[in-house]
Amino acid sequence: MKMIGCMFREDTLDDLMSRVLGALLNADSHVEASRGRATEIFGATLILNNPRARLSRSESKGKLFSALGELLWYLSGDIKFEFIRYYVGKAYDDETEDQETVRSGYGRRLFRHGETNIDQIANVIELLKQKPSSRRAVIQIFDASDIDGAYKSVPCTCTLQFVNRDGKLNMLVNMRSNDAFLGLPHDVFAFTMLQEIIARSIGAELGIYQHCVGSLHLYDDHREKAITYLGEGYFNKVSMDPMPDGDPWRDIKNVVEFERIIRTKEVPVLEELPRYWADLCTLLQIFRAWRDSNFEECTRLRSLISSPVYRVFIEDKLTH
C-alpha cells in the first residue's frame, strides 16, 4: 500500500512511534536512498498532544542519555564533532567533512545563523513577547547553501514555527526527511524541550507539538528492530515533569557549562539549581560514570535523582 499524506495523533511518543512504525512496516512505497533501501510515507503529519510525554519507555528505544546529549549540543550553539560523538558514538561519523565539525548541526543555526550570526532563538522569544499572536515566529534551519555544494550531510529539519494561541505555545516542525526508527525519537525530544523552553521564556503554557515530514521512512536494516519494538506491547504513559516557571536561560547556561565540565573530565562544581535542572545534571554524571565503567558511582548518583521518570532509563544503562 502506497502511503501519501498520512496523519497520526497520539498522547505519547511511544503511541506515535507504534502507529508510525506499524504503518511503515505495511507500506508498499519503497525508495532506494543513499543509506539503503527503505519504505516511505510521503507527507506525514504527527501530532503529540502532550509534548512532555517525549521519552520512549521502550527497552529498545529508551535513549534518554543520547537524546539529552544531542539537545545540549544544540543549546550550546556548538557543532563540534567530538561533542556529539561522546553521546551517540559513530552515528555522526558520515556527517563530518573534517572530523572536527558537523556542518549540518543545528546549534550554530539556532544561535549564530548565517554570516551575521543571527540569534534566531532570541529573536523568536522577543517577537512573541511583543506580539503574542504573531505568525512570524519561524526559525530557519535548512539553508539555500545546503544544496549549493556536495556536502556529506545537510539538515533534515527545514523550519521550526512557534504559535501562541489561547495562552498556549504550539510548535510546528517541517522536515524534508526523517528516519522513523533512529531520528524521530531524538527529534521529538529535542524540539519539544525547545518548545517548552520558549514557552517558559514568554510566560505561556505548553500547547501541542506538530511534526510534518516530507519523507518519513524506515530502512530495511531496521525492520527487525521495529518489529521487536512493536512486540514490546503496551508502554506506560509517563511524562517528564513541567519545567520550572520563569525565564529558564540562566539555568540552561549553567547546565550547558556543567555538561562541558563532565564531558571533558574537569572537576564539577554544581551551582544551586531547581530540582528539574539538577536532575539533568545528575543524569550527565551517571552517563560519565557509565562510560568510565564506574558502576558503583552510577548507583550512588542514582539515589540523588528526584524525578521517578528517569529510573527506568538509569536501570537500563546499569544493566547494559
Strand partners, 31: 38
**Secondary-structure percent of the chain, ordered helix, strand, coil, rounded to 5:** 45, 20, 35
The per-residue pLDDT for range 17-70, each reduced to its tens digit, is 999 999 999 998 888 887 889 999 999 999 999 999 999 988 666 689 999 999
Three-class DSSP category at 43: strand
Burial of 34 (0-12, 13-18, 19+ CB in 10 A): exposed
C-alpha 294/C-alpha 286 separation (Å) is 9
What whole-number percentage of the chain has pLDDT above 90? 81
C-alpha 284/C-alpha 278 separation (Å) is 10
Domains of the chain: 3-231 (3.30.572.10), 249-318 (no CATH)
For the chain, the average pLDDT equals: 94
User: Quick check: 285 and 69 in contact, CB under 8 A?
Assistant: no
Identify the CA nearest to 147 among candidates 177, 117, 118: 177
> Number of helices and strands (H, E) in the chain?
11, 8
Three-class DSSP category at 248: coil
- Cell numbers given for 305: 535523582
C-alpha 253/C-alpha 277 separation (Å) is 11
The per-residue pLDDT for range 103-138, each reduced to its tens digit, is 999 999 999 998 899 999 999 999 999 999 999 999
The per-residue pLDDT for range 260-308, each reduced to its tens digit, is 999 998 877 777 899 999 999 999 999 999 999 999 999 999 999 999 9
Burial of 268 (0-12, 13-18, 19+ CB in 10 A): middle
pTM of the model: 0.95
Q: What's the one-letter identity of residue 72?
A: L
